[in-house]
Chains A and B, each alone.
Chain A
Amino acid sequence: MDKPMPRRAGSAAQAGESVREGHGVFAPLLLRELRVLAEDFRCHVSFLLIFSLMGFGALVYAVRYRSENRERTAELARYTETLRQSTVDEAVEILHPAVRPPWKLAFLADGGQLKAPNVYRQALSAWVEPELTRTHGADDRSRGSESLDWTFLIRVVLSLAAFALGHDAICGARQRATLRMLLSYPVARWRILTARLAAAWSCLAVPLLGGTAVSLLILIGYGGLRFNAAEVGKIALVAGLALWAIAVFLLIALLVSALTRDSTRSLAVLALIWVMAVEVIPAASGLLACGLRPLATDKEVERQMAEIRYRVEAERGGPGSWRGREWAKADDYAWERSSAETQNLRYALQEELRRAILERQLSQVELARHLASLSPMFLVQELAERLTGSGSGRDRSFLEQARAFGEVLAERVRMLDARDGESPHVLYFSGYLSGRPVDAEAFPRFSFRERSPGQGLRASLAHLLVLALVTAIVLAGAFYHFGRYDVGGGTR
């Protein structure tokens, strides 16, 4: 029985010649991959997880933002009320709060801002010690205090989803024998891998972008947040970084898939990588940082503080008993001035020690983060924090600005006191300064300056280069190994 060949088939040899490799094959490959993934349970779960986590995270931050704002407003109102009832003389013993505003981009990269101190209260008098505390926040032991920001999403959810989607892209296709059929066509392997990468990337990028839109709607609508151009720029930068991170995680999965012969092994290797990158490396980095940059204990700090006091007072005399103004006026407050100088010196030295301790704490955190950046997941988190101006950079900047605010306050009090001819001008000791009331409205208030996107980019340059290098390595590795992947019998 003789049946005709399909219409337009032509002769066999002609048909072979007419086939042009590569032309227009990428679109069907990509569409097929997308179609397969669109019906894949892993894709559905990833979609749901990303979308719901972003929405829920935004809701949590909207609630927190409102609550932090309320508490900040209350703290500042209390402070204004106290100032209204104070004289210049009394103002030196008031704890002036430098309240860091709630971190508007905490939904992107919290960077520990939820737990880090956000109020620096400082008095001008050497008798009153400064306080560094939080106005609010959950107890660290509460699970509710965990951040549900985008860095969590990238570090944990996107990496897991990418590994789940990509682990069997090559070895699984080999096992299912779909690769054999595909590779029996004159299609370059890199096109197949690119289509697979692009399809899986789209599967994660779409819910990410959808989740971004939903997050912003919740934050603006419910949280009442308003973003300026710089903040919109930072949101775009982190969204771009998340899309980049998806590609890196997928490439890692594809590389492992191209290095293994079956999907169980590939999944096991990726699970190991994930646990190492997300749990072991950061934990080890923390331990190592503690060992390399140990912090002084409270007892040690107390001892050092006392040592400063003894040293200064041994050199310049103890605080003694300050005299009443009428009595002291007789020798123009000579003893009080000398004692004030001693106490101001003691205070300045102790403040220097406090700074050094805080600096040590921050540098320990930064060292731990540098070491943790060996993990691609934490490298991306560190980048997100640097780009937005969150993390230890924001803590450091806050402390610097708060201290600068202290100097502004001291200058203002000095000026106010100088205007009063009746004042003994013993700076900054209550009972020996101007008794005139303070104009609460005109008194300086702390205003925090966030890092600009340009500063963020500059601070991220080194990390960006490292991420680019990691991307190039896994990209080259995945394409190289897939190019040489033995679709046949292997090593039997």
Chain B
Amino acid sequence: MIEAIDLSKRYSNGNLALDALNLKVGAGEIYCLLGANGAGKTTTLNLFMNFSRPTAGRALIHDVDVAREPRRAKRYLAYLGENVTLYGNLTAYQNLDFFARLGGRRDRTKEDYAMVMRETGLPERCFAERVETFSKGMRQKLGIAVVMMKDAPALLFDEPMAGLDPQAAAEFVETLGNLRDHGKAILISTQDLFRAKQLADRVGILKEGRKVLTCSRDELRHENLEKLYLDYMRGGLGLGERAV
């Protein structure tokens, strides 16, 4: 569903932001990309979204090369950033309607929107309120509703739990689990080790553009992720990718 093959990105100033990344996220799987600031997590998502063009390698969504057929690839993916950028002067309903139409779904009713918003746990009283009055947690829930409304098979989340209070984060994790259960392939860029361990079927650690570690859910059970992460962050380059 989501696949990177030797994916690299070098910026015009010569900075190598991503170095030959290989990863594959299947249907019904959550993959968490961990890494410090500037490790290449957002760059990876940018390449999957065709926000940037890769210097080398391929980013595939649903077997469609993003760089070659970006609009076709985007039919199969939904994205939610750290700062959910919905439109403050529109209500929750209007935001959903706008993004649903943008995704080519013009047959959705207000009831459909209400149902999706209920699923994300957004209070009913907020449905007709302007988004500018929403808290970050509420915006995040509405963002999830937008993603769910698109109903794409591949989902990309960039630091989705940053700034959320514990309850909102827990609800978000629950929603993601629900999406996984519906067969979505989910790639999350995060720095939240606790949630990553809780959520992920697999975890990849990026350091200075290189993936230095991949481990599965089973492997994570027996490992101290925090210790592993810190070891890799402290270690120099040249470690080579290691699977636990």
Interface residues of A (CB under 8 A from B): 1-13, 15-21, 23-25, 27-29, 32, 35-36, 39, 176-178, 180-188, 486-492
Is B241 part of the contact surface with A, judged by Cβ < 8 Å? no
Q: A24-B104, A183-B51, A184-B156 are in contact. List 16 more A-B contacts (CB 8 A).
A: A1-B174, A3-B119, A6-B148, A8-B112, A15-B150, A21-B72, A21-B75, A35-B90, A181-B99, A182-B102, A183-B50, A184-B78, A186-B71, A488-B46, A491-B13, A492-B38
Q: Is the pair A24, B89 in contact by a Cβ cutoff of 8 Å?
A: no
Please measure, in the bound complex, the distance between the C-alpha atom of A345 and the C-alpha atom of B79, giving whole angstroms. Answer: 88
| A185 and B99 contact, CB distance less than 8 A | yes
Beta-carbon contact of A488 and B79 below 8 Å? no
Q: How far is the CB of B7 from chain A (nearest CB, A)?
A: 13
Interface status of B85 (Cβ within 8 A of chain A): yes
Contacting residue for B43 out of A185, A487, A489, CB 8 A: A489
A177–B72 Cα gap in the complex (Å)? Answer: 22
Q: Are B112 and A29 closer than 8 Å at their CB atoms?
A: no
Q: Do the beta carbons of A6 and B104 come within 8 Å of each other?
A: no
Given A6-B116, A21-B71, does the pair A181, B86 have CB atoms closer than 8 Å? Answer: yes
B-side contacts of A491, CB under 8 Å: 11-13
A8 to B49, CA, bound (A): 26
Shortest beta-carbon distance from A83 to chain B in Å: 70
Evaluate whether A492 and B11 lie within 8 angstroms (CB atoms) in the complex, with A1-B178, A12-B152, A181-B86 already known: yes
A3, A25, A184 pick with most chain B CB within 10 angstroms: A184
Q: Of all chain A residues, which has the CB nearest B152?
A: A16
Say yes or no: A188 contacts B71, CB within 8 Å.
yes
A15 / chain B contacts, CB cutoff of 8 Å: 150-153
Q: How many A-B residue contacts, CB cutoff 8 Å?
A: 150
Pick from B11, B76, B119: contact of A490, CB below 8 A.
B11
How far is A404 from B184 in the complex, measured between Cα atoms in Å?
Answer: 86
Asked whether any CB of chain A lies closer than 8 Å to the CB of B105, the reply is yes
| Contacting residue for A181 out of B43, B47, B85, CB 8 A | B85
CB distance from A142 to the nearest CB of B (A): 45
B221 within 8 A of A: no
Once bound together, how far apart are the Cα atoms of A490 and B13, in whole Å?
Answer: 10
Chain A hits for B103, CB < 8 A: 19, 185-186
Q: Which of B12, B46, B50, B151 contacts A6 (CB 8 A)?
A: B151
Interface-centre pick from B86, B107, B148, B150 (highest chain A CB count, 10 A):
B150
Contact between B153 and A12, CB atoms less than 8 A apart: yes
Instruction: Mark B74-118 against chain A: 1 for CB-CB distance below 8 A, else 0.
Output: 111111010111110110000001110111111110001001100
Q: How far is the CB of B130 from chain A (nearest CB, A)?
A: 10
Q: Does B133 contact A (CB under 8 A)?
A: no
Complex: chain A residue closest to B155, CB-CB: A12
Query: Is B42 on the interface with A (CB-CB < 8 A)?
Result: yes
A252 to chain B, nearest CB (A): 25
Most chain B C-beta atoms within 10 Å of own C-beta, residue among A17, A25, A489, A491: A489
In contact, B83 and A177 (Cβ under 8 angstroms): yes
Do A180 and B85 have beta carbons less than 8 Å apart? yes
Partner of B46, one of A5, A18, A178, A487: A487
What residues on A are CB-neighbors of B12 within 8 Å? 491
Contacts A/B (CB < 8 Å), 5 sampled: A6-B112, A16-B62, A28-B102, A184-B78, A185-B102
User: In angstroms, how far is the closest chain B Cβ from the Cβ of A44?
Assistant: 14
Given contacts A6-B149, A186-B71, contact A492 B107 (CB under 8 A): no
Q: Is B193 part of the contact surface with A, judged by Cβ < 8 Å?
A: no
Residues of A within 8 A of B152 (CB): 12, 15-16
Minimum Cβ distance to chain A for residue B62 (Å):
6
CA gap between A30 and B156 in the complex, in Å = 27
With A and B bound together, what is the CA distance between A6 and B52 in angstroms? Answer: 32
Partner of B182, one of A5, A178, A183: A5
Q: Does B163 contact A (CB under 8 A)?
A: no
Nearest 5 A/B pairs, CB to CB: A12-B153, A488-B46, A184-B79, A488-B52, A488-B51
CB distance from B116 to the nearest CB of A (A): 5
Q: Is the CB of A183 within 8 A of B49?
A: yes
> C-beta contact mask, B30-51 vs A, less than 8 Å → 1, else 0?
0000000010001100110111
On whether the beta carbons of B89 and A178 are closer than 8 Å, the reply is no
Contact with A along B144-160 (1 / 0, CB 8 A): 00001111110010000
Does chain A have a CB within 8 A of B123?
Answer: no
Which residues from chain A contact B49 at a C-beta distance below 8 Å?
Answer: 180, 183-184, 487-488
Q: Given A6-B149, A8-B107, verify A489-B17 contact (CB < 8 Å).
A: yes
Q: How distant is A454 from chain B, measured CB to nearest CB, in Å? A: 47
Is the pair B105, A19 in contact by a Cβ cutoff of 8 Å? yes
A185 to B76, CA, bound (A): 9
> Which residue of the partner chain, among A12, A29, A176, A486, contacts B184 with CB atoms under 8 Å?
A12
B85 touches A21 (CB 8 A): no
Residue B168 CB within 8 A of the other chain: no
Cα(A246)–Cα(B182), bound, Å: 50
Known contacts A32-B90, A184-B78; A16 and B46 CB within 8 A of each other:
no
Interface contact A178-B85, CB-CB below 8 Å: yes
Complex alpha-carbon distance, A181 and B149, angstroms = 14
Which single member of B15, B43, B183 contacts A12 (CB below 8 Å)? B183
Residue of A nearest to B14 (CB): A491
Name the distance in Å between A12's Cβ and chain B's nearest Cβ. Answer: 3
Complex Cα gap A486–B50 (Å)? 9
B27 interface residue (CB < 8 Å to A): yes
- Whether B124 sits at the interface, judged by CB under 8 Å, is no
What is the bound-complex CA distance between A17 and B77, given in angstroms? 11
Partner pick for B104 among A5, A9, A186, A490, CB 8 A cutoff: A186
Report which of A3, A186, A488 forms a contact with B74, defined as CB distance below 8 A: A186
> Are B87 and A32 in contact (CB-based, < 8 A)?
yes
A188 vs B42: C-alpha distance when bound (angstroms)? 22
Task: Write the chain B residue with the least CB distance to A7.
Answer: B112
Per-residue contact bits, chain B 17-36, to A (CB 8 Å; 1 contact, 0 not): 10000000001000000000
Q: Which of A10, A21, A184, A492 contacts B77 (CB 8 A)?
A: A184
Q: Is B223 interfacial (CB 8 A cutoff)?
A: no
Which A residues touch B174, using CB under 8 A? 1
